[in-house]
Amino acid sequence: MKIFIHFLILLFLLSGSRSADDSSPFAVVLGIAQDGGAPHAGCVKTCCSDRWSHSENELRVSCLGIVDPQTEEVWIIDATPDFPEQYHELTQNGKYKLKGIFLTHAHIGHYTGLIHLGREVMGTKEIPVYAMPRMKSFLETNGPWNQLVSLSQISLIPLTDNKIIKLNDRLSLTSFTVPHRDEYSETVGFKLKGENNKLIFIPDIDKWEKWGTNIIDIIHQNEFVLIDGTFFGQNEIPNRNMSEIPHPFIEESLSQFSNLSMKNKSKVFFIHLNHSNPVLDLKSEQRLKVINSGFNISFRGIKFTL
Ligand SMILES: [Zn+2]
Ligand SMILES: [Zn+2]
């Protein structure tokens, strides 16, 4: 019964507000996995065994598409290792035009898909790539990315913290810095705004406490909140020091968000899930706990009316 009520609330939320219709712009999830995807290189455990043998169960890397069906324009947040499939799906086999790529940061799951824009593959012409200053100079000063710049296959456009970028008459987007392991670049999240709804996308962040912004306020102020759910909890990857790769554990987020109303809880969608994350197992108690508490796990293809 609880799951049924949850499903109804979800349907209501996703259907958008009154004036939204089929031609409304929307965001679409193109992948939900952490940078390494699932199956994950070197993983011989049960979490990946079925994904190795059944390619239909592979999970693409975390990525968000933005679509305006009226103008047939699309944008993509992050160029992942699964860029070929995600580009194909987002542009509907080339029918819609890719108007820009927005990068969150320089970790491999978030920008290396740019390799497909170069001479060896698409040979694109001045595709706008939006990046923060350090991210921009990383691409300008390191191969093979600097070749995309020198051959004008991409046009780098600087992002400024909290500055609104108008995508078209109906859509805008704002980047904001979040704390993360910033070895090569800053890390940003994005806020998308349409005519009806606002969506927050934060695939990677260290811990909520390290951010100067209160995530609870963010949930209150926006209709959809897609956030870092990389790991469910402590000791999930036994042979690694998890303090070197900090993320808000889903377990921690659940308890921090526990006082929210059911409506506010249902705005939260966990994304960027590591192959080891038990919530990826459809029958796990951890997944049930997330759903029964009123939150959501993202899945490829889910659309959010903007
Ligand atoms: Zn990542
Ligand atoms: Zn990262």
4, part of any domain: no
Residues near 109 by beta carbon (within 8 Å), at least 6 away in sequence: 33, 34, 35, 36, 37, 61, 62, 78, 80, 81
Q: Which ligand is nearest to the CA of 272?
A: 1
The alpha carbon of 204 and the centre of ligand 1 are apart by a number of angstroms equal to 5
pLDDT higher than threshold 90 for residue 111: yes
13, part of any domain: no
The alpha carbon of 203 and the centre of ligand 1 are apart by a number of angstroms equal to 6
What residue numbers bound the domain in which 51 lies? 22-305
The alpha carbon of 106 and the centre of ligand 1 are apart by a number of angstroms equal to 9
The alpha carbon of 228 and the centre of ligand 1 are apart by a number of angstroms equal to 9
The alpha carbon of 189 and the centre of ligand 2 are apart by a number of angstroms equal to 11
pLDDT higher than threshold 90 for residue 61: yes
The alpha carbon of 181 and the centre of ligand 2 are apart by a number of angstroms equal to 7
pTM for the whole thing? Answer: 0.94
162, part of any domain: yes
The alpha carbon of 213 and the centre of ligand 1 are apart by a number of angstroms equal to 20
Q: Which ligand is nearest to the CA of 61?
A: 1
pLDDT higher than threshold 70 for residue 4: no
pLDDT recorded at residue 14: 64
Give the model confidence (pLDDT) of 239-260 as tens digits. Answer: 888 888 999 999 999 999 999 9
Q: Which ligand is nearest to the CA of 34?
A: 1
Q: Which ligand is nearest to the CA of 106?
A: 2
Q: Can you tell me the mean pLDDT for 100-114?
A: 98
> At 103, which CATH number?
3.60.15.10
The alpha carbon of 107 and the centre of ligand 2 are apart by a number of angstroms equal to 5
Q: Can you tell me the mean pLDDT for 20-36?
A: 94
Query: What residues have their beta carbon closer than 5 A to ion ligand 1?
Result: 35, 107, 109, 204
pLDDT higher than threshold 80 for residue 3: no
More confident residue, 240 or 41: 41
pLDDT recorded at residue 243: 86
The alpha carbon of 78 and the centre of ligand 2 are apart by a number of angstroms equal to 11
End-to-end CA separation in angstroms for the chain: 29
The alpha carbon of 105 and the centre of ligand 2 are apart by a number of angstroms equal to 7
Q: Can you tell me the mean pLDDT for 69-86?
A: 98
Give the model confidence (pLDDT) of 173-224 as tens digits. Answer: 999 999 999 999 999 999 999 999 999 999 999 999 999 999 999 999 999 9
The alpha carbon of 197 and the centre of ligand 2 are apart by a number of angstroms equal to 27
More confident residue, 116 or 16: 116
Q: Which ligand is nearest to the CA of 36?
A: 1
Count the domains in the chain.
Answer: 1
Q: Is the peptide bond before 144 cis (omega within 30 degrees of 0)?
A: yes
Query: What residues have their beta carbon closer than 5 A to ion ligand 2?
Result: 107, 204
User: Are 64 and 38 contacting, i.e. CB atoms less than 8 angstroms apart?
Assistant: no
% pLDDT > 70, the chain: 93
Residues near 5 by beta carbon (within 8 Å), at least 6 away in sequence: none
pLDDT higher than threshold 90 for residue 166: yes
The alpha carbon of 299 and the centre of ligand 2 are apart by a number of angstroms equal to 20
% pLDDT > 90, the chain: 89
129, part of any domain: yes
Mean pLDDT (the chain) is: 94
9, part of any domain: no
The alpha carbon of 39 and the centre of ligand 2 are apart by a number of angstroms equal to 18
Q: What number of other Cβ atoms are within 10 A of residue 227's Cβ?
A: 26
Residues near 262 by beta carbon (within 8 Å), at least 6 away in sequence: 9, 294
Split at pLDDT 50, 70, 90, the class of 235 is confident
